Structure 1
Amino acid sequence: MLDSLFGAPEIPLHNLHLLEKDIPNIILWAVPVMLFFTVIEMVVTYYQERDYYEKKETIGSILVGIGSLIVNAILKLSLVYLFIWVYNQLPWRMEFTWWTLLPCYVIYDFFSYWAHRVSHEQRFWWATHVVHHTGEHYNLTVSYRLSWVQHLKLIFFMPVALIGFHPIIFFVTNQIAVLFQFWVHTEYIRRMPAWVEYVFATPSNHRVHHGSQEKYIDKNFGATFIFWDRLFGTFQPEEEQVIYGITTNIENKANPLIINFHEFIDIFHDVRSAKGLRRKLFFIFGSPVKIAEEKKQVTVGQSQLVDSEVN
């Protein structure tokens, strides 16, 4: 069986355009379905007079989502080339077999957990992810908020490619993993059966992840499976009502450029004003939580100094 699975032939790079066409664009196919359910949620929210949507935020989410589709289309060929090149270097290349999608998905989700966790623990990577957390209302359009530079995080998934999965299997896995996260961004699905909540990143589990309260910050990183969080000590059940957004919310909620790049701009200003290499590196790769706390303390200190001078 192993002989028939491993040792697949190399994929000729001159036929790259043919392989690209063989990779199903599942996300693009799913867009009409996602829009359909989003409109239903909007209509229900309107008639129930709930505050799950806010006009400017919704516009921002849609524009960010359109931009993500454009970036994906531009980068698709180069990403396919990269992963085929890696695949061709491996002596243990796997044949294109659909059942390999299952182990690939579980392994991919494991690395997704760590990529997601690092994206919260180091500021540079947080800047590639914060886009997804800027919404102060929780609804299906939040799933559209995918950073335009998120492909930088593909470095975290190279171990999956190095295992030898066929490139088509890898890209299908990636698309299914992204689409799975659509349905968890809603207030309308509350607690699910206990075994589902224990295994999967359900809406309840993922609402916690979007919380700005101290008990919810940096919890529930699992994309599809929540048992990674239970295993590595980052699980938090949904208890009190979640307050969505980031600790310092952005003011311009409809501008996709601000939504995507405000954190990079803040990093630039912090690094430019920092003294010494150690401080500069801290503002690039330090914990976003610690950096925010330090900047808050400085702001409070400056405010108190001004008040004392006035008095």
Structure 2
Amino acid sequence: MPFSLFGADKIPFDSIHTIEKNIPNIILWAVPVMLFFTAIEMAVAYYQEHDFYEKKETIGSILVGLGNLVVSAAIKLGLLYLCIWIYNLLPWRMELQWWTLIPCYVIYDFFSYWAHRVSHEQRFWWATHVVHHSSEHYNLTVSYRLSWIQHLKIVFFLPVAFMGFHPIIFFVTNQLGVLFQFWVHTEYIRRLPAWFEYIFATPSNHRVHHGSQEQYIDKNFGATFIFWDRIFGTFEPEDEPVIYGITTNIPNKANPFFINFHELSDMVADARNAKGLRQKLFYIFGSPIKIAEEKKRMSVQETADERVGV
């Protein structure tokens, strides 16, 4: 029988639970391994008296990570329904072939780059991502800090689903993409061979992304492949030591609800107090950097007005 990649049969919705069972839960399987290496890093850092960990931030990271696992499990079936619905719409449905994981992963990572970049450039999406940047220390637990509302960014990956990849391939690709980012959140792996640093988002490349210095802000968005940043002009090598965190660090470091929703709360408050539709939209969809500059300017102006009695 001749091989055919496209034109796979539709997936009946009454078989969705079978499909769900056939999707390997790679992240859940990996949790014990992640915890093992985190414990080792934590012990070594303590023994060497490095300040890579801070108690409240570590608690916050773990609680955020646990919450994300719960949210992901709760919405998994709904996302699977969506993927199967899209898959069944297409005349170019791909057969379930293991090797289609390779092009799917590369394409998925391309859209991940843009989803990540937009998450830094527009405040609405920044509110779904800031949790990952709110730690002032860089260690393996930072990889646990994934927003509970980050799944809204599925809209950025719908083009991948519309390419006809089998839903199982799509879900496995997502999990592998998330897991890849675990090992890059460490201070213990310095520079790797030049060819590897040129292609992949290594710990060195990703430390830059978490920097709060001006030269590091909004750089190195690549999740697995750093060559997207080289192509689109957002690459920055690790030069001076990185200062981690956000430009205005959060006070409540252990509360997972505050960590997840503080920016969303501030955004809603700013939009509510803004004058006119244009300013409201600015505070929701504007650049986080420009919004911070505008709020700082207004604060300085208000202080000056108070001094002159206006």
TM-score (norm 2): 0.98
Report the Cα distance in structure 1 between the residues aligned to 2:52 and 2:284, rounded to whole angstroms. Answer: 34
Query: Who is 2:97 aligned against?
Result: 97
Q: How far off its partner does 1:304 sit? A: 3.9
**Could you tell me the percent identity over the aligned residues?**
76
Q: How far off its partner does 1:30 sit? A: 0.2
Q: How far off its partner does 1:119 sit? A: 0.4
Query: Who is 1:199 aligned against?
Result: 199
Report the Cα distance in structure 1 between the residues aligned to 2:304 and 2:255, rounded to whole angstroms. Answer: 34
Give the stretch that moved more between structures: 295-304 or 51-60.
Answer: 295-304
Other structure's SS at 2:4 match: helix
Report the Cα distance in structure 2 between the residues aligned to 1:98 and 1:154, rounded to whole angstroms. Answer: 23
- Deviations for 1:37-74, whole angstroms, at most 9, x for unmatched residues? 00000000001001100000000000000000000110
Call closer, same or farther: CA 1:262–1:2 in 2, change over 3 Å. Answer: farther
Report the Cα distance in structure 2 between the residues aligned to 1:44 and 1:2, rounded to whole angstroms. Answer: 56
Report the Cα distance in structure 1 between the residues aligned to 2:303 and 2:145, rounded to whole angstroms. Answer: 35
1:53 corresponds to which letter in structure 2?
Answer: Y
1:1-311 paired onto structure 2 within 5 Å:
4-307=4-307
Q: How far off its partner does 1:297 sit? A: 1.8
Provide structure 1 residue ranges, at least 5 long, that are not aligned to the other structure: none
Other structure's SS at 1:5 match: coil
Report the Cα distance in structure 1 between the residues aligned to 2:234 and 2:304, rounded to whole angstroms. Answer: 36
Call closer, same or farther: CA 1:265–1:2 in 2, change over 3 Å. Answer: farther
Q: How far off its partner does 1:301 sit? A: 2.8
Q: How far off its partner does 1:307 sit? A: 4.9
Report the Cα distance in structure 2 between the residues aligned to 1:285 and 1:302, rounded to whole angstroms. Answer: 24
How many pairs does the alignment contain? 309
- Deviations for 1:161-219, whole angstroms, at most 9, x for unmatched residues? 00000000000000000000000000000111000100000000000000011110000
- Deviations for 1:211-231, whole angstroms, at most 9, x for unmatched residues? 011110000000000000000
Q: How far off its partner does 1:300 sit? A: 2.6
Q: How far off its partner does 1:299 sit? A: 1.9
Report the Cα distance in structure 2 between the residues aligned to 1:99 and 1:307, rounded to whole angstroms. Answer: 68
Give the stretch that moved more between structures: 297-306 or 47-56.
Answer: 297-306
Other structure's SS at 1:4 match: coil
Q: How far off its partner does 1:302 sit? A: 2.7
Q: How far off its partner does 1:130 sit? A: 0.5
- Deviations for 1:259-306, whole angstroms, at most 9, x for unmatched residues? 000011001110111010000000000000000111112223333444
- Deviations for 1:11-50, whole angstroms, at most 9, x for unmatched residues? 0101111100000000000000000000000000001001
Report the Cα distance in structure 2 between the residues aligned to 1:247 and 1:120, rounded to whole angstroms. Answer: 13
Call closer, same or farther: CA 1:191–1:307 in 2, change over 3 Å. Answer: farther
- Deviations for 1:83-116, whole angstroms, at most 9, x for unmatched residues? 0010000000000000000000000000000000
TM-score (norm 1): 0.97
